[in-house]
Amino acid sequence: MFKVLTENSKMEDVLVLKEQIAAQQDMLARTTSYMTEIQKELLLKNSILEQKNHDIKQNLDYAGIIQNTLIPQREYIIKYLKDCFILHKQRDQIGGDLPWFRHQNKLSYIAAVDCTGHGIPGGMLTMVLYSLLNAVCGENGNALAQPGEILNRLNNEFKKYFGQNTNNANTRDGCDIALCIIDKEKNEIRFSGANRPMVVVTNNEAELFYAEKQSIGSAEIESFKTVSVPINPRSNYYIFTDGYFDQFGGPDDKRFKKKNLLGLLTSLQNLSMSAQNKILLETFINWKHTNEQTDDVLVIGFRP
């Protein structure tokens, strides 16, 4: 049986349809208004994030400038040593590796410092270690002459600074370090290290002077000893952190490895320090290729 549409029923259908359209339009208007508010809120939050990112970048830029003031310049070092290079390539804008140099009482002190962590935490620790090293090495002009003694005192002072001599220690951070003292009057280099060695290359052979296997900040009392070697005018001397040889890369995406770094340093013996620096940097970049940098990198080479 078919329904016969009267004029009244047609009008009723039209009214229902209009009401539905009106309801949909109202919902669309509400949705549009809601989305507009959300968009405004997102734009505001993006603006706030952009400003915060800008502020963070400015702060990092300034922190980098401050940290760079701690890095000794080659022009200053070669006033006291024949030649040198400092390859310093941080993973982030600021980092935990720090080259350190001072000359006092006819002695030249040079160190490669590797603080715990990267970025801001590592950078803050370098400031602490820089101050402690300067304080330990020569208060009131009385310079310590034995690197082992310096590292023992540095270890104790670091523990005091962070309260690691108590049960309420709030940090287990510290640093690895290779420290050399060049004494030209006695014609010798004195070395001590916390997990970081010294390498001497002579006649295309590398000799490795091992460090104590303990870090500053966690070592036992009087852990660090001094090793003395005569200065050889035909030798090159190197200290470094672990960032260079721990870098992943190459055809098999593996670590560069310490033995390859020693081989590379040996092959560069007869080149100038600036030429060595250039080749070391190029080799590192080529090895890393498209990989992210794994760690902060620091290699120091010098001729007394």
Architecture of the 72-303 domain: 4-Layer Sandwich (3.60)
- pLDDT on residue 167: 52
Those residues of the chain that have pLDDT short of 70 are 1-8, 10, 13, 139-142, 164-172
- pLDDT on residue 7: 65
- pLDDT on residue 117: 79
- pLDDT on residue 25: 82
- One-letter amino acid at 178 equals A
Pairing outcome for strands 107-115 and 175-183: antiparallel
- One-letter amino acid at 25 equals Q
Ranges of each domain in the chain = 1-69, 72-303
For residues 294 and 246, give the distance between their C-alpha atoms in angstroms, rounded to a whole number.
Answer: 7
Encode pLDDT of 228-254 as tens digits: 999 999 999 999 999 999 999 999 999
- pLDDT on residue 170: 52
Encode pLDDT of 204-215 as tens digits: 999 999 999 999
- pLDDT on residue 18: 77
For residues 133 and 154, give the distance between their C-alpha atoms in angstroms, rounded to a whole number.
Answer: 7
This prediction's pTM = 0.84
Contacts of 289 (CB under 8 A, 6+ apart): 249, 250
Which residue, among 21, 112, 98, 94, has the nearest Cα to 56 in the 3D structure? Answer: 94
- pLDDT on residue 191: 98
- The answer to whether 115 and 98 have CB atoms below 8 angstroms apart is yes
